[in-house]
Amino acid sequence: MENNKSEEKPLLFTLRGFHLSEDYGFLLPNPLSELPALYGPWMEIANNLPHLIQSHQLRSQVYKMPQLSSQHLKGHRELRLAHLALSFITMGFVWQEGEEETVKLLPRNLAVPYWEISQMLGLPPILVHADFVLANWKKKNLNGPLEIENLDTIFSLPGGESLRGFILVTCLVEKAAAPGLKAVVQAGNAILQPDKEALHQALQEMAKAIKEMTDALKRMHDYVDPAIFYAVIRIFLSGWKDNPAMPGGLIYEGVSDEPMSYSGGSAAQSTVLHAFDELLTIHHSKESTAFLHRMRDYMPPHHRAFIEEIQSAPSLKQHILSSGNEKLRIAYNQCVSVLADLRTYHIAIVTKFIVIAAANAKAKKGKPSHWAGNFQINPPSSLQERGTGGSGILSFLKSVRDTTRAGIIQG
C-alpha cells in the first residue's frame, strides 16, 4: 500500500453512520404524509383527530377500526408515519374525556399493530418526541425553506394553532441544532487526530448552534398561547407511568394481559442535549441522571447509539485539561456557558407555560369555564407541577442547569 494509509488513525464517526444528516440533525428528513391505501382506516381517523376528540366520537371510531397487519409497511419512513399516526390516535383515545374517564385497555385492533410497529422501530408504544416533533412536519411549498411560515404538522390534536406552533417551534430548535451535531463529530475526530485548530473551530461552531437553538426557542412566545398549552394540549402528551390519573397503566389487548406503563412526551427525549452533555462531560445529579437515562429508552435506537458513541470516545474535557491550551479552554467554556443559557431560557418558558398558567387556571376555577376553539378547558390536576414525562419539572430543570454551569473549567 502506498504512503502507509493503513497507519492513519481511524476517524471516530460520521453523522451518516447514525442515519443523521448535516441539514436536519435528528429530524426525520422529509417525512412521508401518506401510507399505502390499505391503511386508509388509520389515516382517516388520524387526519381528523381534533374533531373526533371534541365531539367525543374517537373511541367509538377506534372500536370500529378493522384489524390491519403491519407487515405491508415498507421502509423506515412508512414505519415512522404509521407509528406517528397510531401514537396520535392512542393519545386521543386514552385522554378523550380528560383524566376523569380514562381507559384501562387499548383494543387489539389498535394495540397489536401499534406494538408490532414499535418493536420494528425500537420505540415504545406511546407518543414520543421522535413522533410528535421529529417525524411530524411537512413543507407547504416543497422548494421553499424550512421556516415556520412554510411548515405544517402532519397530524394534530386539540389545541389548534397553539399546538401547531408548539410542534413547529420545537422542530426549528432541532433544526438549529444540526450544525452543532456536525461540530460534535468534528470535535471527536479532532481529538483523535489530534488537531487543535480543527477542535477550536468545532467548539466555536457548537457554541454558535446552541445560541441559535435558544433564539429558535424564543419564538414559542409568538406561536403558543400558555392557557391553551396548559389546559388543552398537555394532557394529550401525558403518559401512563407515575400518573395518578392512570395508576394501573394500560393493557395493550392482544399483546399482554398485564398492564404496561410508559412515560409521556418530554423534551428530555430529544437526543440533542444528551449529545452535548456527553461531549462536554457534564455530570448531573444522581436523580436527574436517572431520569435522563430513562428517557433514552424513548429515542430511536440510532439516536441512542450516537450518544453512546460520544460517551465511549476519549474525553474532550480531559484532552483540554491535559493540553493546557488556553484558547481551547475558553472555547470549551463558551460551549458550557451557552448550554447553561439555553437551559435557563427553557426554565423561563416552562415557568410561563406551566407554573404561571397553572396559577391562572386555578384562579379561574369555579368561574364559568372558557373554551379553546370549542374545546372546554379543564386543566389536568395530576400535572400541576410536573412535566408530562413525569419529572418534578422546575426543580429538575434548575438542577440540570446548575450542574451544566458547574462544568466550566476554571483558569
Binding residues for heme b: 346
| 191 Cβ neighbours under 8 A, 6+ residues apart | 12, 199, 313, 314, 316, 319
Question: Can you tell me which residue has the cell 477550536?
Answer: 200
β-pairing, 151-152 vs 251-252, is unpaired
Instruction: Please write down the long-range contacts of 201-206, taking CB distance under 8 Å and 24 or more positions apart.
Output: 203/328, 203/331, 203/332, 203/334, 203/335, 204/331, 204/334, 205/179, 205/180, 206/180, 206/276, 206/279, 206/335
CB atoms within 10 A of CB 344: 16
Distance CA 47, CA 89 (A): 9
**Residue 147 in 3-state DSSP?**
coil
Give the closest residue to 336 by CA, choosing from 401, 285, 265, 392.
Answer: 401
Distance CA 123, CA 75 (A): 15
Binding site residue list: 346
β-pairing, 138-139 vs 151-152, is antiparallel
